[in-house]
Structures are given as structure tokens and as C-alpha cells.
Amino acid sequence: MSLHSYDIKVMLNQSPEVLERVLRVARHRGFKIELMDWKSASGELLLTVSSARQLHLLSKQLEKLFDVSSVEEL
């Protein structure tokens, strides 16, 4: 299986635990965080992830989180 690298932008509501939830979902879905850029003031989280799995498996789960307002595959 070959690993693929993906970029994703997640817009988050301000909540103390929201970042932890996003990282937990990524780990549980089999994605490794390669790069993370967190802009807490705007709630924007840019992630570069790698996995042998397809990105939609992660983005669909992130969209279900209460504090996630949008997910965009870049």
C-alpha cells in the first residue's frame, strides 16, 4: 500500500477541546498528521495528512463533529 499526502482545511468553532477531537478522529481513521497550522483567532485549521486510505473517509467524519463548521479538501 502506498501512502498518499492530502491537504485539508477545517473551520472550527471556539471550544477548548475541539482541536483534541479533530486530532483523535484523524488518528482513529488511520491518518498521520504531517503538518498542522492552527489559527485560533479565526478557527482555521490547515492539516497535511498522510494515509493509504482515501481522504473522504476522514473529511466525512470531521464534518460530523459538533464544533466543526466546514471541511474543505484542498
Task: State yes or no: pLDDT of 1 exceeds 80.
Answer: no
How many percent of the chain have pLDDT more than 70?
99
What structural domains and CATH numbers belong to the chain? 4-73 (3.30.70.260)
Summarised one tens digit per residue, pLDDT across range 5-40 is 999 999 999 887 899 999 999 999 999 999 999 998
Segment 58-74 mean pLDDT: 95
Largest CA distance in the chain: 38
The helix or strand, by DSSP H or E, that contains position 38, with its residue range, turns out to be strand 32-39
